[in-house]
Every structure is written in C-alpha cells, then in structure tokens.
Structure 1
C-alpha cells in the first residue's frame, strides 16, 4: 500500500483513545481498529466482529472515564481484541 492509499484508508478512522504510547482509532463502518505506536509510527489494523467491536468501544469508554492501571488495560485489550487472530494483513 503506497502513502496515498494509506492516507485515504486513515480518513475513515476516528481517534478513540491515547493509551501509553499507542493511539487507537476506530472505523465503525468496517468494524476495524487501527493501533498506532507513537514512538515507532508502526500501524496495525484489526477487524472485529460487530459484537466485539461494540464491546471494545465500551471498554474504551469505561477506561476513558476511570483511572484504571494503564499497563493492565493495554494488556487486556491486546489479549481480547488486538490479537493475531483479528489482525488484518495487507
């Protein structure tokens, strides 16, 4: 994917959270999550089932409204949502 295609794909994403050194974006139409490492600029995309997508957004909302342990939260979402089984390989 060249830079222009990548920018076009990013246009459909919306920032939902910044946790540690990650920015998390969502694309509600495609039930996709983009995780961007702000240190390395590495980006990974994940496609979730509609139920898991809603659950992911609910957990992000709960996290944003609480003072949870950030490291524990990142581990939890990586284990449940942002894992190899849901990753989109381009």
Structure 2
C-alpha cells in the first residue's frame, strides 16, 4: 500500500473521461490510467514528443464537446497501447 501511495505521489490528475481518471508524471513522461469502476491501474511511458502531444489532446478534449467514447478509443490506440505500457 505504501508503494502505491509513493507511485501516485508523482502523478497529477489531468482529466476524467468516462470512467477513467488520467494522471501524468511530467518528469518521467508517464501516464497512469485508472478505471474508476474496477480500480485497475495501468502505466505508460511515452517519448517526450508523444507525451506533449497527449497532453495537448487532453487539453483540446477538455475545451470541446467531443464524443467521449471516440476520444477514449483514439487515445488508447494512439498513446495508451501495449507498446508503451510499463509492466511492473
């Protein structure tokens, strides 16, 4: 439990989309996605360019009225995929 608190300490909430909370760690270029229904958490490490692009897309989403399901599918396909996943 202490390890989980330390892990979350470096993350900052950037968006709540559908039943997901998205957190970012700017120092490590990492994204944590937490399913609020199942409490499952997954971490992803992005290249610096992709990390900035991800945050830009979150910002655009927060300022628009996009289709939520379509947006979640897009970010999962583009950024939060198996190639970027951190396995602990």
The alignment of Structure 1 onto Structure 2 pairs a total of residues equal to: 88
Superposed displacement of residue 25, structure 1: 0.1
RMSD: 0.3
Superposed displacement of residue 51, structure 1: 0.1
Which residue matches 2:2? 4
Which residue, out of 50, 58, 75, partners 2:73?
75
Which residue matches 1:46? 44
Q: Normalising by structure 1, report the TM-score.
A: 0.97
5+ residue gaps, structure 2, are none
Q: Normalising by structure 2, report the TM-score.
A: 0.99
Q: Secondary structure at the match of 1:79?
A: helix
Superposed displacement of residue 31, structure 1: 0.1
1:76 & 1:70 partners in 2: Cα distance? 10
5+ residue gaps, structure 1, are none
